[in-house]
Amino acid sequence: MPPVTAPLPGDDPALAALSLDELELRWADAAARGAISAEAMTGADRKAQALGIPGEALMEHAGTAVAAAARALLTHNGREGRPVLVMGGPGNNGGDGFVAARRLAGWGVPVIAVLVSAEERPGTPDAARNWRRLDGLEGVTCVHAPVARDLAILAQGIERAGIIVDALLGTGVRGRLREPVRTAVEVIQRARDAGTPVLAVDTPTAVDLTSGDPSEPVVRADLTVTFHRPKLGLQTRLGRALAGRVLVAPIGIPLEADRG
């Protein structure tokens, strides 16, 4: 009998009840694939969409995987009942975080979703759509933090968060971090130093997914959920140290999208 392939995260009703170990086992096929660079991942994402898979569907699977890992991390650390703080940037990494916020709220986990951007809405259509979907949703508090001062205010009492989801920046980091993302990274790090676990989406912000090299400041995560395939940068010495435990979640990119 051929092995049973687990459903993709967005179609998997079992995810909300799984532990970190169980999630790792459920997604073992993705973790067993060969590692790729940030550039190769961007190409696979684009090729998948050219093959007819909507970006919105990829984001839904990615964000649901993050939500499952966030809920499991809460339980793993005995921090159930506390809100999850999602720090989302202006691009698709933030969009993944906002999907996670919606999914967590649907599972009864309270969420504070923060758009860390000078603009009033995310800059990509899929991320903007998922930010809008949080408006008025029960269990979700939405906050817009356009400047560093807003993040400094948010940091007061941040220790009450169960975990922090770093969805600030993914594969597109180049050079020095700009405000308000820079201050958001500093806030995340102070909270982690004080004992709040951090889950990074795709990569800890400011860790290069190809080389593993960080810029400063950088997020140090306890858990990273990356997508489709392992990433070369998270397998280097520095990358491993900053990513913490790594789960590789399938998001519906067909393997033929890796070629050409």
Q: How many domains does the chain have?
A: 1
Is residue 5, in this structure, part of any structural domain at all? Answer: no
Is residue 170, in this structure, part of any structural domain at all? Answer: yes
259 falls in which pLDDT band (50, 70, 90)?
Answer: confident
pLDDT of residue 173: 66
DSSP tag of 227: E
Per-residue pLDDT tens over the stretch 202-256: 999 999 999 999 988 999 999 999 999 999 999 999 999 999 999 999 999 998 9
Is residue 134, in this structure, part of any structural domain at all? Answer: yes
Is residue 61, in this structure, part of any structural domain at all? Answer: yes
Is residue 196, in this structure, part of any structural domain at all? Answer: yes
Residue numbers of the domain that contains 97: 19-254
pTM of the model: 0.96
Per-residue pLDDT tens over the stretch 71-101: 999 999 999 999 999 999 999 999 999 999 9
Is residue 94, in this structure, part of any structural domain at all? Answer: yes
Q: Are 209 and 203 in contact (CB under 8 A)?
A: yes
Distance from C-alpha of 230 to C-alpha of 247, rounded to nearest angstrom: 9
Is residue 183, in this structure, part of any structural domain at all? Answer: yes
| Element spanning 225, H or E | strand 223-227
Distance from C-alpha of 79 to C-alpha of 38, rounded to nearest angstrom: 33
Average pLDDT over residues 100-113: 98
CATH of the domain at 166: 3.40.50.10260
**Residue 157, token pair as written in the block:** 């009492």
Q: Tokens 């817009």 belong to which residue? A: 144
For the cut 50, the answer to whether the pLDDT of residue 1 exceeds it is no
Q: In this structure, what is the dihedral angle of CA atoms 8, 11, 14, 19, given to the nearest 10 degrees?
A: 40
pLDDT of residue 176: 80
Is residue 8, in this structure, part of any structural domain at all? Answer: no
Report cis status (omega within 30 of 0) of the bond before 214: no
